[in-house]
Amino acid sequence: ILNVEQSPQSLHVQEGDSTNFTCSFPSSNFYALHWYRWETAKSPEALFVMTLNGDEKKKGRISATLNTKEGYSYLYIKGSQPEDSATYLCASIDSSSTGKLIFGQGTTLQVKP
Amino acid sequence: EAGVAQSPRYKIIEKRQSVAFWCNPISGHATLYWYQQILGQGPKLLIQFQNNGVVDDSQLPKDRFSAERLKGVDSTLKIQPAKLEDSAVYLCASSLIIGAGANYGYTFGSGTRLTVV
């Protein structure tokens, strides 16, 4: 079973601050990496799906990078807003598996106005 | 398109009671997943269906948990009897096919929050 780790576990920032989180995953048998945003009482929402080493993806103020050789991904939020407050989950898919997501424990972000 | 529907949203039961959760995936999605998310941990896969067949149930505690997807559409997850450690959010997700994860994120329901007292 894959072991996916995220850090930090929680983060409190002021509105306007930029922040980043780390996701580490086993690099062997890598197939894909997903990032999800999960707001309280809502469904986890897919942010990015990444597969290629060196991938960089961007959606508004949020971007992500992927290093499959060393097994890590970074998620960046530029100019955090209170509406960015959520738990950010990364999940890896193993090429030898059936497509199941193996999740990290998440990073909970609180943005203070 | 309509999202993944789950019910109930919340459930409180006493230990040793039974409980069932329901999930209706995105229309046409062949693959359905049930995840358990215990507070402070990441979601853990309990069972994966492809149409009405089980693909992976290696982490399902089969002495108390059962799941079915009889017609390859909606699914139910049952716990009988419940233990205190089953308190968690139970998430259902669907994807078009196995292997779609290289191109698309999975669609999740809003989950059922179970509290066992």
Q: In this predicted model, what pLDDT tens digit does every residue of B56-70 receive, in sequence order?
A: 999 999 999 999 998
Q: Is B24 on the interface with A (CB under 8 A)?
A: no
Facing A93 at nearest CB: one of B41, B101, B107: B101
Residues of A numbered 9-68 whose beta carbons fall under 8 angstroms of chain B's beta carbons: which are they? Answer: 31-32, 34, 36, 41-49, 51
A33: helix, strand or coil: strand
Closest Cα in chain A to B42: A105
B98, pLDDT greater than 80: no
- Mean pLDDT across B9-27: 97
Distance CA B116, CA B89 (A): 12
Least Cα distance to A66 among A97, A101, A35, A89 occurs for A35
Closest Cα in chain A to B9: A41
Under an 8 A CB cutoff, do A46 and B103 touch?
no
Give the model's pLDDT for residue A74.
Answer: 98
Number of Cβ atoms within 10 Å of the Cβ of A78: 14
Average pLDDT, whole number, for chain A? Answer: 94
Q: Which residue has the higher pLDDT, A94 or A13?
A: A13
Distance CA A55, CA A20 (A): 16
Q: Is A89 on the interface with B (CB under 8 A)?
A: yes
A50: helix, strand or coil: strand
Closest Cα in chain B to A108: B40
Distance CA B94, CA A56 (A): 26
- Mean pLDDT across A40-50: 95
Handedness of CA B18, B21, B22, B28 (dihedral sign): negative
Question: Do A14 and A112 form a contact (C-beta atoms < 8 A)?
Answer: yes
CA angle B46, B50, B56 (to 5 degrees): 35
Number of Cβ atoms within 10 Å of the Cβ of A52: 9
Average pLDDT, whole number, for chain B? Answer: 94
Judging contacts by C-beta atoms under 8 Å, the chain A residues touching residue B55 are 98
DSSP 8-state secondary structure symbol assigned to residue B85: G
Distance CA B112, CA B77 (A): 11
Distance of CA B86 to the CA centre of its chain: 13
Judging contacts by C-beta atoms under 8 Å, the chain A residues touching residue B105 are 34, 36, 45-49
Distance CA A106, CA A86 (A): 10
pLDDT tens, position by position, A67-105: 999 999 999 999 999 999 999 999 999 887 788 999 999
Least Cα distance to A82 among A110, A53, A52 occurs for A110
Judging contacts by C-beta atoms under 8 Å, the chain B residues touching residue A2 are none
Judging contacts by C-beta atoms under 8 Å, the chain A residues touching residue B32 are none
DSSP 8-state secondary structure symbol assigned to residue A99: S
Closest Cα in chain A to B6: A43
| Residue appearing with tokens 């002021």 | A14
Under an 8 A CB cutoff, do A36 and B4 touch?
no
